Each structure stands twice: as C-alpha cells, then as structure tokens.
Amino acid sequence: MVFFLQDILDLCYTGVTEKILMEEEKLVQLNVRIPRTLKELMKEYIELDAHKDISEFTRDALREKIQRDAPNLYQKQFEKEPAK
C-alpha cells in the first residue's frame, strides 16, 4: 500500500478534527445499509489502518469526501462566529 505525504497529513488532520468535533457537538446516529462484501472490505482495511473501528473509519471517509469534493462547504464548518 502506497501513501502520499498529503494523504498522511490529511489523515493526521482529520484525526485532530474528529476529536474537536466530538467534543464540541453531539454525535447523532446514522444507519445505512451496505453490501456485506463492502463491510468485510472495510473491516480488512481497518485492520491495516490506524482507525479503531468502523464508525471512526466511516466518519473519516465521509469527512474526506466532503473536504475533497466541496472544500468551501467543509471549511465553513470551522469558521468561527463573529465576536459580539
């Protein structure tokens, strides 16, 4: 498996981001149906990767997808409200 420096930096950044988001906002449950083969593939990948479980992997995958495809939308999440 080949990782590029940007991939590693993104993973480090998303790990920090996840901690911040979990502390600042309440987590909600999302149920989704996926093919059994995809779940098995995810489990195999998690064993090779640094994610602790499928939930953490899924949060990172969703976050990375939004960050890659809609960076402006992703960035809005981290803009602070103006001071009053």
Q: Tell me the pLDDT of the chain (84 aa) as tens digits.
A: 444 555 555 555 555 555 555 555 678 888 989 999 999 999 999 999 888 999 999 999 998 999 999 999 888 887 765 555
pTM value is: 0.59
Residue 83, by phi and psi: left (phi above 0), alpha (psi -120 to 50) or beta?
A: beta
Spatial contact of 63 and 21, defined as CB atoms under 8 Å apart: no
Residue 1's closest CA among 49, 66, 69, 59?
49
Going by C-alpha positions, the residue among 21, 28, 24, 18 that lies closest to residue 50 is: 18
Tokens of 72: 């402006």
Of 46, 57, 45, residue with least CA distance to 15: 57
pLDDT for residue 11: 55
